[in-house]
Structure 1
Amino acid sequence: MKKVFRLVSIIVSSLALLLVLTACGSKSLANQNVMTRAKQTNTITWGVKADTKLFGLMDVKNGQIKGFEVDMAKALTKQILGPKGKADFVQVTSSTRMPLLRNGNIDAIMATTTITPQREKQVDFSRSYFDAGQSLLVKKGSPIKSVKDLNKNGATVIGVVGSNSVQNIAKFAPKAKVLQLSDYAQAVTALKSGQGEALTTDNGILGGMAVENPGYVLTGGAFTKEPYGIAINKHQPQFKRNLNSALTRVEQSGEYNRILKKWFGNVPGMNVKEMER
């Protein structure tokens, strides 16, 4: 009888454990508390661009993504988790970043993501960490001097799928044709091969393209305000508070300005002094 009782006890305990594990497993990654998981793993997983010079670009020599947003993500991680906190990086594009966040593959998006009312219906944002503005990249000597010139003769402007800039062109140059490509590398190639008269996105991104492609310049100034924010899944209030607090500390310590100057200090046409915090 003792053996039978012991066997029954083991079975009951096993079933109870299975129920607990099932209950935990039923909660999707996206709905789990990010801060709880981050503290357990001492890691925050960030979605960053790997094709955007100055913000996030893959270094083919060592396979590491480098840029302003990568350095900022590392600084914020250490502010939130402590000096030994680890920042993991997952490569995203404008079209993949939101699905990866919703699925819980990443904890936060720091990938030149403009804060917009439409996006705020899907995700929560930190406060802005970079105040960009949409502009145009054209070949030197181009007759296009401003966004209004895109309306003339139905010019073709190149953009990236999932970016807010494509929607803005419809507002500012409704007669322009739009060619949407999957990433910025393809967009630059298309511009250089004559598939469009201009490439549009935020000025910070275009600045990186101009540095890499000396025959191309920014034109027309910024015709929109594009504040970048860190996107996270909804119902993560603690994570959002920690991100905003960490951003404040990074700014107040002077680390923000050091990172800013590191990546944008030598970009022609960009006034870093105006961007400092």
Structure 2
Amino acid sequence: MTIIKSFLFSITLCLYLLSSPLVKSAEWEEIQARGKIIVGVKDNLPPLGFTDQNGNLQGFEIDLAHKLAEELLGDKQAIKFVPLLNQDRLNAVIEDDVDIAIASITFNSSRQRLVDFSDIYYFSGTGIIVKKNQFLSNIRDISGKIGILNNSRAIAEIQYQFPQLSLQGVSSYQEALELMEKGEMQGFAGDVMVLTGITQQTSNYQLLPQIIGAYPIAIALPKGRQYQSLRNQVNQVMRKLRQEDWFKEKAKFWGLP
């Protein structure tokens, strides 16, 4: 009976390992043989990743994906894009929907338990947008209410650095913009990358120059020793691009602070 139980346990363990998400994602050799890397991206977040009027993906992170394909596979078009919702970005890597995800993913310790991360390619933070007709040039000039997403990680830091600000919780960026249009809020504090996109698309908003905090953004890669070669290949390219100031030049091109 003990032998039978041991045998059944071994079979169950093998089946679990075969079905485990940690052994699904493509290894470097498989990507090379395929001749194409599958990358999860955002398609609705200018200037990082968005679909232009011609239906083409554009943006800072899209350019990074093309550059990786060029450096790794010799062809910047050797790539398949998979648009992802925010809540699906890590699962897409874990569940083998993509090889890697370049989708405005903040590196932190809790996420590192689920996936690995490349070298950092950008530091985001919290910025504040206001309407241009208010002629504000500094956060300290604000006297009215400032919207901020409910439970935002930036609330404590803003209250510490700018205790004079009156914060009002909102459920979404859209709600904040609507309240600003109604004159019920003087500004909105949010992710500076998202706010940059809003100011680029809506000419009556401006981003104030101060950036609060610094949040590292990196590529999400699958965990496991079998993917070490893939991680090494990606990070070699990332370090090369940093040495060449590629990230700074591209950030400037896309208007990122």
- The TM-score with structure 2 as length reference comes to 0.74
AA aligned opposite 2:73: L
Deviations 1:126-182 (A, max 9, x none): 111122322122223288954997xx98753247xxxxx92222553498443334x
1:87-130 per-residue CA deviation (whole Å, 9 max, x = no partner) reads: 11111232221222222111111112221222222221111112
Task: State, as a whole percentage, how many aligned pairs show the same letter.
Answer: 22
- Does residue 190 of structure 2 align to residue 207 of structure 1? no
Aligned to 1:167: 153
Query: Structure 1 residues 97, 35: closer, same or farther in 2, change over 3 A?
Result: same
> Does residue 42 in structure 1 map to residue 28 in structure 2?
no
Return closer, same or farther for 1:189/1:244 CA change in 2, 3 Å cut-off. same
Q: 1:67 to 1:209 in 2, by over 3 A?
A: same
The residue number in structure 2 matching 1:6 is none
Distance 1:113 1:38 in 2: 22
Q: Tell me which structure has the larger Cα radius of gyration.
A: 1
Q: Report the counterpart of residue 90 of structure 2 in structure 1.
A: 98
- Unaligned residue ranges in structure 2 (runs of 5+): 1-13, 161-165
SS in 1 for 2:152: helix
Answer whether contact 2:157 2:212 (CA < 8 A) is retained: no
**What is the CA–CA distance in structure 2 between the aligned matches of 1:82 and 1:138, rounded to whole Å?**
44
Instruction: Indicate the RMSD between aligned Cα atoms, in angstroms.
Output: 3.5
For residues 94-133 of structure 1, the aligned pairs below 5 Å read 94-133=86-125
User: TM-score with structure 1 length normalisation?
Assistant: 0.69
Deviates more, 1:197-206 or 1:68-77: 197-206
Q: How many aligned positions are there?
A: 234
Task: For 2:58 and 2:254, locate their aligned partners in 1 and report how far apart those are by CA, in whole Å.
Answer: 10
In structure 2, relative to structure 1, the CA distance for the partners of 1:38 and 1:128 (3 Å cut) is same
Query: 2:56 aligned with 1:54, yes or no?
Result: no
Counterparts in 2 of 1:84 and 1:156: CA distance versus 1, 3 Å: closer
Taking the aligned partners of 2:247 and 2:209, their CA distance within structure 1 comes to 28
How far apart, in 2, do the equivalents of 1:196 and 1:157 lie? Answer: 10
CA separation of 1:172 and 1:81: change in aligned 2, threshold 3 A: same
